[in-house]
C-alpha cells in the first residue's frame, strides 16, 4: 500500500509527474487500494471543479444509423430495432422540459447520418432552442462524424460542445471493434476530433472501457491520448454487451469487473486532467443502481439524465439493460437530485457548467 499511496499522492499533487506505466498499475488496483485511488481523485475533483454536479438532459433524437459498430445495439445491421426519428415538436418540448427543470444544458444525440437534410434540420432545431430559452440553455451535440462545414453551421446556430468518442486510441483494437467497410476509419475519427477543436468547439471524447483484447496498458494509453488531445470533457463508460450484436458474447464478462474498471478509469482521468468535465455515464448505472453516484465519488462531475420520451427508450438500447426505460423524466429528476445531495454534492441548476479547462484555454 505504501508505494501505491505515494504514487497516488504524487499524482494528485503533480499530475505531470505520472507515467503511463504507473497509470496502468493504478487501473488494476482492487480493494482498499482502489478506494484510496478513488478518494484521492474525488479530493482533486472537489479542489478543481467543486462539489457541484451539472446535469445535461439527453435527448435521443433518432436511432437511425449508417454505421455498424460491432458493439452497438442500434447498429445498421440490427434488423430487430424499430427505427424512429423524433418529430420537431417532441424535440422542442423535451428541450423546454430541460429548460423549465433548470437543467443548464442539453445533449442532442443520435445514430450517425450525414445529409444536407439532417444538417438543415439540426440547424433549425438549434436556433429554435436558443430562441425558446433566450440563449440560456447550453447545447452539446453527439451526432457522430460530420464535415467541417456541417460542424461550422451547427456551431453558428448555437451549439457549443461536441462529444465524439475515439472509442480506443489503439488503431489495431479500433479495427477489431469496427467493420472494415470504409465507414469506420480510425484516422477519420481522429481528424474529425481535431477539426472540432480547431473550429472552437468545447470538445469531449472518451472510450469504451473493458472490451475484449484491451489491456490496462492500452487503457492507460487512452487516458494519455485524451490528455494529449487536450480535451475539455470526457464521456467514457464500461462496455456492456448487447444480445443482437456480434459482441454479444464475451467469455469473461463480469458486470462487477466492468463497473470497477469504469470507476478506476474515472479516478485516473481526474488525476491526470484535474480541471476538465468528466461524465459519470449511464452505463455505470446499468451496472449498479448507485453507479452514477459512485462515478461522482471517483472524480466525475457531470450526469446526463435521459429526457427522451419513454416511448422511444426501448428503441435506443445501445447495450442490454440500459436503464430508465420506464422512468419518466420528471421522476428521474427528483430521484437524481435527492441522491446527488445525499452524497454531499449540490446540483448546478440553471448554469452551463462549462469545463474549467475550456474556460482557461479560452482566456489565454
Nearest CA to 24 among 176, 214, 166? Answer: 214
Site for ligand SAH in 298-327 (CB under 6 A): 318-319
Examine residue 263 and tell whether it contacts ligand SF4 (CB under 6 A): no
- Interatomic CA distance for residues 49 and 43, integer angstroms: 10
Which three three-digit cell numbers place residue 92? 422542442
Least gap, CB of 17 to ligand SAH (angstroms): 30
Residue 260 CB, nearest distance to ligand SAH (Å)?
15
**Site track for ligand SAH across 121-150, x = CB under 6 A:** ---------------------x-x------
Ordered DSSP codes for 2-41: HHHHHHHHHHHH-GGG--HHHHHHHHT--HHHHHHHHHHH
Q: Find the binding residues for ligand SF4 in span 52-91 (CB under 6 A).
A: 65, 67, 69, 72, 74-75
Asked if 69 contacts 186 with a C-beta cutoff of 8 angstroms, the reply is no
Q: What would the x/- binding string for ligand SF4 be over residues 96 to 135, using CB under 6 A?
A: ---------------xx-----------------------
Any contact of residue 189 with ligand SF4 (CB under 6 A)? no
SS3 128: helix
Site for ligand SF4 in 131-170 (CB under 6 A): 144
Nearest approach, Cβ of 144 to ligand SF4 (angstroms)? 5
Which residue from 12, 107, 259, 283 is in contact with ligand SAH, where contact means CB under 6 A? 283
Q: Could you give the CA distance from residue 335 to residue 220 in angstroms, rounded to a whole number?
A: 34
Asked if 158 and 131 touch (Cβ cutoff 8 Å), the reply is: no
Establish if 295 lies at the interface with ligand SAH (CB under 6 A): no
- N residues, the chain: 364
Residue for cell digits 448554469? Answer: 351
> How far is the C-alpha of 336 from the C-alpha of 238, rounded, in Å?
21
Q: Does the protein bind ligand SAH through residue 81 (CB under 6 A)?
A: no
Between CA 185 and CA 190, with CA 186 as vertex, the angle to 5 degrees is 120
Q: Is-contact 177 208, C-beta < 8 A?
A: yes
Task: Kindly tell me which residue out of 62, 101, 105, 109 binds ligand SAH, with binding defined by CB under 6 A.
Answer: 109
Minimum CB distance to ligand SF4, residue 101 (Å): 26
Given the complex with ligand SAH, which of 129 and 166 has the nearer CB atom?
Answer: 166
Any idea of the CA torsion for 238, 58, 361, 223, to the nearest 10 degrees?
Answer: 10
Q: Report, in Å, the least distance between residue 250 CB and ligand SAH.
A: 10
How far are the Cα atoms of 52, 297, 325, 330, 340 from residue 344, in angstroms, in the given order? 9, 10, 27, 22, 7
In the complex, the residues that contact ligand SAH under the rule CB under 6 A are 71-72, 109, 111-112, 142, 144, 164-165, 167, 208, 237, 239-240, 242, 283, 318-319
In the complex, the residues that contact ligand SF4 under the rule CB under 6 A are 65, 67, 69, 72, 74-75, 111-112, 144
Amino acid at each position: 500500500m505504501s508505494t501505491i499511496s505515494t504514487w497516488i499522492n504524487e499524482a494528485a499533487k503533480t499530475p505531470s509527474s505520472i507515467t503511463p506505466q504507473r497509470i496502468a498499475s493504478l487501473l488494476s488496483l482492487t480493494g482498499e487500494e482502489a478506494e484510496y485511488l478513488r478518494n484521492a481523485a474525488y479530493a482533486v475533483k472537489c479542489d478543481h471543479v467543486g462539489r457541484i454536479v451539472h446535469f445535461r438532459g439527453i435527448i435521443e433524437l433518432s436511432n437511425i444509423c449508417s454505421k455498424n459498430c460491432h458493439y452497438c445495439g442500434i447498429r445498421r445491421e440490427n434488423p430487430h430495432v424499430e427505427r424512429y426519428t423524433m418529430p420537431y415538436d417532441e424535440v422542442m418540448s423535451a428541450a423546454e422540459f430541460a429548460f423549465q427543470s433548470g437543467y443548464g444544458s442539453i445533449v442532442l444525440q443520435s445514430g450517425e447520418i450525414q445529409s444536407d437534410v439532417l444538417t438543415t434540420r439540426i440547424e433549425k432545431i438549434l436556433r429554435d432552442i436558443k430562441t425558446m430559452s433566450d440563449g440560456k440553455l447550453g447545447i452539446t451535440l453527439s451526432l457522430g462524424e460530420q464535415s467541417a462545414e456541417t460542424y461550422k453551421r451547427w456551431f453558428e446556430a448555437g451549439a457549443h460542445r461536441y462529444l465524439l468518442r475515439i472509442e480506443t486510441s489503439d488503431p489495431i483494437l479500433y479495427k477489431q471493434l469496427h467493420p472494415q467497410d470504409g465507414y469506420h476509419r480510425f484516422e477519420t475519427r481522429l481528424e474529425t476530433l481535431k477539426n472540432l477543436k480547431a473550429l472552437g468547439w468545447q470538445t469531449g471524447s472518451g472510450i469504451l472501457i473493458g472490451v475484449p483484447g484491451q489491456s490496462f496498458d492500452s487503457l492507460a494509453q487512452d487516458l494519455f491520448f485524451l490528455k494529449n488531445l487536450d480535451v475539455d470533457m470526457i464521456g467514457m463508460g464500461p462496455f456492456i454487451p448487447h444480445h443482437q450484436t456480434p459482441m454479444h458474447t464475451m467469455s469473461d464478462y463480469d458486470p462487477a469487473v466492468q463497473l470497477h474498471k469504469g470507476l478506476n478509469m474515472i479516478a485516473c482521468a481526474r488525476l491526470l486532467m484535474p480541471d476538465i468535465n468528466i461524465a459519470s455515464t449511464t452505463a455505470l448505472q446499468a451496472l449498479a443502481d448507485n453507479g452514477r453516484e459512485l462515478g461522482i465519488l471517483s472524480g466525475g462531475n457531470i450526469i446526463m439524465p435521459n429526457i427522451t420520451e419513454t416511448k422511444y427508450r426501448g428503441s435506443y438500447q445501445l447495450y442490454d439493460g440500459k436503464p430508465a426505460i420506464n422512468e419518466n423524466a420528471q421522476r428521474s429528476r427528483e430521484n437524481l437530485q435527492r441522491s446527488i445531495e445525499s452524497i454531499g454534492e449540490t446540483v448546478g441548476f440553471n448554469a452551463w457548467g462549462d469545463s474549467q479547462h475550456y474556460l482557461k484555454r479560452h482566456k489565454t
